[in-house]
Amino acid sequence: MALRLLLVRHAETDWNRARRYQGWQDTPLSEAGRGQAEAVGRLLAGERFAAVWSSPLGRARETASIIAAKQALSVREAPAFKEMRFGDWEGLTSAEVSARFPGLYQNWRDTPHLVTVPGGETLGDVQKRVLAGLAELRAAHDGEMICLVAHGISARILILEALGLGLDRVWSLEIAPTGVSELEFRGDWAAVHRMNSLVHLDRVAGRA
């Protein structure tokens, strides 16, 4: 069973720029983000995807719609790849979380795999649903190439799975808005062919 997965993090929102935890909040793309999404859509227009999948959250769906339109495809939604739910942290900036939850925030930076955010998910919770979603994609698209638009944490978990690394390494990966990664899953073997490529943003105004 083989799957070639072009993994894209959604484009920028105003909350991204402000370093505000979004989680399951349905925030729209910023003006700069729409430009990023158009740029990644142009980059991937030459690919031949069997399908374009997306988290159902608006920022991912909007990014995926721009990619899919360039190939005359519709977007399929996969809730398994939603962002991590950050509970009481959603809507707060990193600085605000650090001030209100100093010990927990430091643990999140140092040992994220051991943290439970109040009202939110653990990394283990997210990993469980993401890997279940991956299994479904592999079964549905054996021998095919697809695009998936996901989020900072869900995308990192897919890449860690391909690299054979644990959740304690989640901060080892930098995944920027519209960063493109290319993963291959074949039987019990996986490979990362590119990671967080941003070449398409070289000429995009407002790039952070």
Q: Is residue 159 within a helix (H) or strand (E), and if so which, with residue range?
A: helix 152-163
In the residue annotation, 83 being an active-site residue is answered as yes
Which is catalytic among the residues 38, 62, 83, 121? 83
Which is catalytic among the residues 10, 141, 151, 200? 10
CB 55 within 8 A of CB 82: yes
Helices 58-69 and 31-44 meet at what angle, rounded to 10? 40
Question: For the CA atoms of the chain, what is the radius of gyration?
Answer: 16
Q: Is residue 33 within a helix (H) or strand (E), and if so which, with residue range?
A: helix 31-44
Residue type, 157: I
CB 30 within 8 A of CB 172: no
In the residue annotation, 141 being an active-site residue is answered as no
Q: Name 190's Cβ contacts closer than 8 Å, sequence gap at least 6.
A: 161, 162, 163, 164, 183, 184
What is the residue whose two structure tokens read 């074949």? 186
Residue type, 86: F
User: Nearest to residue 80, comparing CAs of 125, 122, 13?
Assistant: 125
What is the set of active-site residues? 10, 83
